[in-house]
């Protein structure tokens, strides 16, 4: 997606870069009427540091993603003065950070751990402004799963939907049938807390609600 100038009746608006390759985060932004001008995913080592807490990991990775994308943007014509938005989601049981699963065995272990119990989902959002300042938000959501039966677990693993997902599930998909209680932000569990994200953008002068005007 190439960066480009956009204008409206109110005039020029700044560019917005989404530092992510996640289709879920892009879809969430589009849901609230925001179309990023460019996608610049950051290739980072997301391994937790020794004794790093889940919330600290989410904040660190969101910030590092935003900073990495901002460095790339500064080297591209017309993109140095962009807003850069990044997020990271961490699923944890207590202090235990669950992986972004790439193997069925990993996903099965995560889902057996989550079955019938409450876990926490931390999503951190980082916004770098055109002036180079950084603003952050951290959202905690508690999710309780029902007790998963053997056939449910086997069917979900067979679906492959868990692949690349923190904790081995995607709440916006088939696993939406698993939670019996959610306290916090649903969109944060999907990958981008919309209330906090819109607040960050609007608070730093990005016209986040511009495309709501005259929307049919």
Active-site residue list: 88
- Distances, alpha carbon 171 to alpha carbons 1, 7, 134, 144, in Å: 27, 36, 29, 12
Closest CA to 1 of 9, 53, 30: 30
Helix (H) or strand (E) holding 179: strand 179-183
The tokens describing 164, both together, are 């690349």
Q: How far apart are CA 84 and CA 76, in angstroms?
A: 14
Element (H, E) at 108: helix 104-114
Angle at 28 between CA 26 and CA 30, to 5 degrees: 70
Query: What 3-state class would DSSP assign to 77?
Result: coil
φ and ψ at 91, to 5 degrees? Answer: -105, 130
Q: Helix (H, G, I), strand (E, B), or coil: what is residue 214?
A: coil
């Amino acid at each position: 997606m190439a960066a480009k100038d956009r204008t409206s009746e109110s005039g020029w608006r700044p560019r917005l870069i989404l530092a992510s390759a996640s289709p879920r985060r892009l879809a969430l932004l589009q849901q609230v009427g925001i179309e990023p001008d460019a996608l610049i995913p950051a290739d980072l080592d997301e391994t937790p540091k020794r004794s790093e807490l889940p919330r600290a990991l989410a904040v660190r990775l969101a910030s590092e993603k935003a900073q990495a994308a901002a460095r790339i943007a500064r080297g591209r014509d017309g993109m140095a003065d962009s807003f850069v938005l990044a997020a990271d989601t961490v699923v944890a049981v207590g202090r235990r950070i669950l992986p972004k699963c790439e193997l069925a065995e990993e996903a099965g272990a995560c889902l057996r751990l989550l079955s019938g119990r409450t876990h926490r989902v931390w999503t951190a959002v980082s916004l770098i402004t055109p002036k180079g300042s950084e603003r952050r938000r951290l959202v905690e959501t508690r999710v309780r799963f029902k007790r998963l039966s053997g056939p449910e677990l086997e069917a979900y693993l067979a679906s492959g939907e868990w692949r690349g997902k923190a904790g081995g599930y995607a709440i916006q998909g088939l696993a939406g049938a698993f939670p019996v209680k959610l306290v916090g932000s649903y969109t944060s569990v999907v990958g981008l807390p919309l209330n906090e994200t819109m607040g960050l953008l609007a608070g730093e002068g990005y016209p986040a609600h511009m495309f709501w005007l005259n929307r049919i």
